[in-house]
Amino acid sequence: MFTLRKSLSALAVAGLMLGLGAPLAAAQDYQLNVSTALTPEDPIYKGLEQFRDKVAERSAGKLEVRIFPSSQLGKDEDVLEQARAGANVAVLVDPGRLAVFVKDFGVLGGPYLADGFEGMRKVVTSPLFEGWSKQLHDTSGHQILSFNWWQGQRNLLTQKPVTTPADLAGVRMRTPGAPVWMETISAMGATPTPMGFGEVYPALQQNVIDAAEAQDTATHGARLYEVVKHLTKTHHIGLITGLVTSAAWFDGLPADLQAIVREEALSAGDAASKGTEDATATVDADMVSKGLSIDEIDVTPFKEATAGVYDKLGYGELKKEVDAILAK
């Protein structure tokens, strides 16, 4: 995790870059430390490796990307704050965490928004999304490199079978702390309990929580199948995530490096998303072989239960704009 001294040093460097202009380029003059809660086995991590390698190749070694899996640099929220302060860090985050700074991002984390990656990609490469990104840059000090990192559809992880929202009454379920996630899980019938993803395994093991919800590749990578009995295919949230860095750090890059990191982030996000889709059946089969019950259900009761989430959080009109993009 970054120390205060390192953060202050990053701020000092950012201040020099902003005050004096970009420094003279030399080999490995620039470094970006990328954080993710995921493990190296996750397909998304493979995409980050592609991003690292292609940036090094196209920048002729002037920009080095280093990857830190399993939240080694701290919780996602902490890394976002480091980026906001000007540190040379980036983090792969869900839109709910960005909604703290620009509310409109939260709609992307809403229940049953789009059907799969292609639908979500249409939204996050649209002019509507670019407007949110500019607002984020200007108001919070964050820069989105790309937001097309599909981590799959999130499903329920419980100790007992689940077929309707009533089965989740009184169940303490881990979820990220963003309002749209919390409201979705509450509407589904459970009691939302926010905590870092790295804390989920011991919390389930020690009965601090009763359940969790995650995409299948992350469930497999974190070995959560060892501490739950059922994975129920609710597909309640399609998890699209983005690579977010410091606006001050990004603005201090030469224009050619800015273009490289954005282009390669988009390309790597597409590759990682394809990897996620390919990996889901494989990890499901492996988890079943290890004793996890994977249950297919009729999700209609959950769609009906969560339909009011958008209006309740003030996203009703914005969802109509998203629906129009998806209909094209």
Pair of tokens at residue 138: 């200007």
155-238+281-327: same fold as 4-95+129-150+240-278?
A: yes
The model's pLDDT over 189-199, given as tens digits with 9 standing for 90+, comes to: 999 999 988 89
Annotated domain spans of the chain: 4-95+129-150+240-278, 155-238+281-327
Residue by residue, DSSP assigns 259-323 as HHHHHHHHHHHHHHHHHHHHHHHHHHHHHHHTT-EEEE---HHHHHHHTTHHHHTT-HHHHHHHH
Whole-number pLDDT of residue 20? 31
The model's pLDDT over 198-216, given as tens digits with 9 standing for 90+, comes to: 899 999 999 999 999 999 9
Pair of tokens at residue 269: 């996000």
CB 7 within 8 A of CB 190: no
pLDDT grade for 160, boundaries at 50, 70 and 90: very high
Query: In a 3-state reduction of DSSP, which class is residue 164?
Result: coil
> What percent of the chain is predicted at pLDDT more than 70?
91
In this predicted structure, the answer to whether residue 18 has a pLDDT above a threshold of 60 is no
- Kindly give the interhelix angle for 117-124 and 316-327, rounded to the nearest 10 degrees: 110
In this predicted structure, the answer to whether residue 326 has a pLDDT above a threshold of 70 is yes
In this predicted structure, the answer to whether residue 31 has a pLDDT above a threshold of 80 is yes
In this predicted structure, the answer to whether residue 22 has a pLDDT above a threshold of 70 is no
pLDDT grade for 109, boundaries at 50, 70 and 90: very high
Distance CA 195, CA 230 (A): 21
pLDDT grade for 27, boundaries at 50, 70 and 90: low
CA atoms within 13 A on the CB side of 300: 1
Instruction: For the domain made up of 155-238+281-327, give the CATH fold.
Output: D-Maltodextrin-Binding Protein; domain 2 (3.40.190)
Q: Spell out the alpha helix ranges (H) of the chain.
A: 4-20, 43-58, 76-84, 95-98, 117-124, 127-140, 179-187, 200-205, 216-221, 247-251, 255-289, 300-306, 309-312, 316-327
The model's pLDDT over 257-292, given as tens digits with 9 standing for 90+, comes to: 999 999 999 999 999 999 998 999 999 999 999 999
22-36, 86-100, 285-299: which range is least confident on average? 22-36
Q: Which CATH superfamily is domain 4-95+129-150+240-278 in?
A: Bacterial extracellular solute-binding protein, family 7 (3.40.190.170)
In this predicted structure, the answer to whether residue 96 has a pLDDT above a threshold of 60 is yes
Q: Mean pLDDT in the chain?
A: 91
20-29, 66-75, 224-233, 236-245: which range is least confident on average? 20-29
Of the chain, the end-to-end C-alpha distance in Å amounts to: 44
CB 61 within 8 A of CB 25: no
Whether this model's pTM surpasses 0.95: no
